[in-house]
Structure 1
Amino acid sequence: MDLTSTKICVGILFGFWRFFWGILPVKLDRYLRKWEEASSDSKTFINEKRHQQVTCYVALTQSFGGGVLFATCFLHMMKELFISVEEIKAKWELSNNEYPISQVIIAFGFFSIYFLEEFTHWMVNKGKKRQCTKMYVGKVANVITKQKAPVPTSAKSTQSLRSSKVSPMKTIATIEEWELNQKNKPESEFEFDEELSPTTEKEEKPGNFLTSPCTSEKSMNRTYSGRSRHSIKEEINRANIALIQEEQLSLTDEETMKDQEQLMRCVLTIAALSLHTLLEGLSIGIQKFKYEIWYLFIAVSIHSASILFCMGVELILAQTRIRFIVLQMAALALASPVGILLGLLVSGESSMKTFGMSVAGVIVEGFSAGTILYITFFEVLNRERERRVYRLRRGLCIVGGFVIMALLQYSETRSDKHKILQYNNYNKTVS
């Protein structure tokens, strides 16, 4: 197998390997749900115990993923970016510049994702406020259209002022409270209600209203004009039900907004990992020896398996649709073969590797590192810090994920040093 065939074979294996580990959490989620619901209703204790076990496994997996992302950002991506910047400085004779370019690029990536998330959050809140305003206007319109008599011109201004101050739908709880409010109503309001209610010619005379010994009781009876106590009670019940539904809808909207924010962060992480994977495939595609290709394949495969598994768990917890998860993992799996093909093109034509391409690669890699840094601290580790269950085990899982990735990075560094020594010895023997 020649060098080009080896690169193509490694690219295909990369695609299947990444897709497998990205979809594995979906299969495990289905299996755990069936396992949790396998017992009958008579075994409630077993169901609760299984539910606690599943919750514990998911929490520990998320904690392990937080440690993996933390190590990936600081020990792998930042190191690769620093090496790329130093190579550009050495190649284009910029070694005298000691400005921390790699750190600045990472900071730009970090703040770009921060402001992007704030802008998205503002757009979601703006759309929610518009929807609530439309719902409120619709409810007010329905209340106005339910009036049986038209409002006189002389009373329109009074009605608009009164409706802008209080909302009668939100102050009524029972029929008794409504009757108490009617008894305590000022006479000016009853005069307004009198204009709205159908009255007889005798009641329309002002003298009858002023000379009546029981003004408040007759005024309250006028508000019942054509309406029975049962009908008023039904309207109050409907108003209370509408208020309860509105509160439930607001809670549902808040949960939906939180899920959308978590999903958006997962999408940003997938995009950053895709760019980083593309650059990893590019580094494999430009290699000139077979053993270097297979070594990078093994190292990157072990490194990416835990990351993809943890990202799949995050997407499931964000209540993402299965089809959307499959599409994201497929895009992430195709990034490596595409990067290897680009590496083949670059290695085939050395003139294509210009200063502009090197700078573009460094910028993309830096923005990817900044994105992973933001997601690691603001999403994963912050969420783990706010949890109040399985504290010791979650802490050990975070440290365990970091230690595993640190050991992999250490073995990779030692192997790189060994290859450099072999290359230097070979040059000495040739010379």
Structure 2
Amino acid sequence: MDFEKAHRSKKILSLCNTFGGGVFLATCFNALLPAVRAKLQEVLTLAHISTDYPLAETIMLLGFFMTVFLEQLVLTFRKERPAFIDLETFNASSDAGSDSEYESPFMGGQRGHTLYSEPHGHSHGLSIQELSRSSPLRLLSLVFALSAHSVFEGLALGLQEEGEKVVSLFVGVAIHETLVAVALGISMARSAMALRDAAKLAVTVSAMIPLGISLGLGIESAQGVPSSVASVLLQGLAGGTFLFVTFFEILAKELEEKSDRLLKVLFLVLGYTVLAGMVFIKW
């Protein structure tokens, strides 16, 4: 009975994650990319520059490469998968159906206290509890990793000027951050982390999106060419972050699982359709 309940929960969470992937896909290509193009055109017009080069797409890909670089940098020096990847992705699929090099940090029953596990039962044995007891630098790296994308998501929200784009982005970020929060809560509960440390970590991570929004609003409210250039660059970099999360951290994980493949594709398309359809609603 418990096994069936756990399997059903995993399936629901996995479908929610795939739906979130569709939402992020629409957020990236239907909201952020057009916004970057429009803002970039304003900047080029002010600077009296005319070019056919796809600058908006290039800036977005720079953000994507920056995110890939940061992830690989953490992997290189830590030799373990960084915590924010699994927490953020909320990979809720079963161990048996996964061909991934890294397994879910909080869905393995007998390994519930570890954040990192490998196939064939080998565990790195690194938990949030151990991080909290270890050097401040390691705990800081965990908090930084969890917060990095949240800041860029907040920036993307704060830099928007049109109501429909703000609403679309808000829905996408809300769905994604809800999955992050649930995953983080489960991981901290299973690692028996001290309540005070858990509260500090939760408050720090949750403050990152408002921080990003505040920075975005401050940049957007400033007048002049420098603020417009900064707005274009930050929106493009944020779009690259959305691109990375969509393809590397959601779709790559969920679509490699052996179960419910077609159902996941359906939820992916559904997530995209829901957010893409919001463009027809006047806010």
Q: How far has the Cα of 1:336 moved from its partner? A: 3.6
Give, as a single letter, the amino acid of the residue that structure 2 aligns with 1:377: F
> Structure 1 pair 110/70, CA: closer, same or farther in 2 (3 Å)?
same
CA distance in 2, matches of 1:55, 1:263: 26
Counting aligned pairs with the same residue, the percent is: 22
1:98 corresponds in structure 2 to: 52
Contact 1:109 1:366 in 2 (8 A): yes
Partner SS for 2:52? coil
Q: Deviations over 1:309-363 (max 9, x none)?
A: 322313533655453344322331354456446655x3xxxxxx22222111111
Give, as a single letter, the amino acid of the residue that structure 2 aligns with 1:106: M
Contact 1:109 1:367 in 2 (8 A): yes
2:66 corresponds in structure 1 to: 112
2:231 counterpart of 1:361: yes
Which of 107, 112, 124 is the matching residue for 1:253?
A: 124
CA distance in 2, matches of 1:79, 1:57: 32
CA distance in 1, matches of 2:56, 2:174: 26
Residues 32-431 of structure 1 correspond to what in structure 2 (within 5 A)? 45=1, 47-94=2-49, 96-125=50-79, 251-253=122-124, 267-280=147-160, 283=161, 296=163, 300-301=166-167, 303-317=169-183, 320-321=187-188, 323=199, 324-336=201-213, 339-340=216-217, 346=222, 353-411=223-281
Give, as a single letter, the amino acid of the residue that structure 2 aligns with 1:119: L
CA distance in 1, matches of 2:215, 2:238: 17
CA distance in 2, matches of 1:308, 1:50: 26
CA distance in 2, matches of 1:99, 1:89: 12
Give, as a single letter, the amino acid of the residue that structure 1 aligns with 2:38: I
> Structure 1 pair 377/411, CA: closer, same or farther in 2 (3 Å)?
same
Q: Deviations over 1:382-417 (max 9, x none)?
A: 0011112222322111111000111012435xx8xx
> Structure 1 pair 262/378, CA: closer, same or farther in 2 (3 Å)?
farther
Q: How far has the Cα of 1:262 moved from its partner? A: 10
> Structure 1 pair 255/402, CA: closer, same or farther in 2 (3 Å)?
farther
> Structure 1 pair 52/264, CA: closer, same or farther in 2 (3 Å)?
farther
CA distance in 2, matches of 1:118, 1:59: 25
CA distance in 2, matches of 1:328, 1:338: 16
User: More helix per residue: 1 or 2?
Assistant: 1
Q: Deviations over 1:72-128 (max 9, x none)?
A: 11111111001111111222221x2222211111121111111111111111029xx
Q: Which of structures 1 and 2 has the bigger CA Rg?
A: 1
Q: TM-score, normalised by structure 1?
A: 0.46
Q: Deviations over 1:32-83 (max 9, x none)?
A: xxxxxxxxxxxxx2x3332222222211111111111111111111110011
CA distance in 1, matches of 2:211, 2:13: 27
Contact 1:77 1:365 in 2 (8 A): yes
> Structure 1 pair 370/337, CA: closer, same or farther in 2 (3 Å)?
closer
Backbone CA RMSD of aligned residues:
3.3
Q: How far has the Cα of 1:275 moved from its partner? A: 1.7
CA distance in 2, matches of 1:373, 1:381: 11
Contact 1:312 1:325 in 2 (8 A): no
> Structure 1 pair 406/334, CA: closer, same or farther in 2 (3 Å)?
same
Q: Deviations over 1:170-214 (max 9, x none)?
A: xxxxxxxxxxxxxxxxxxxxxxxxxxxxxxxxxxxxxxxxxxxxx
Q: How far has the Cα of 1:370 moved from its partner? A: 1.0
Contact 2:68 2:244 in 1 (8 A): yes
Structure 1 residue runs of 5 or longer lacking an equivalent are 1-44, 127-246, 285-295, 347-352, 416-431
CA distance in 1, matches of 2:142, 2:247: 13
Contact 2:155 2:212 in 1 (8 A): yes
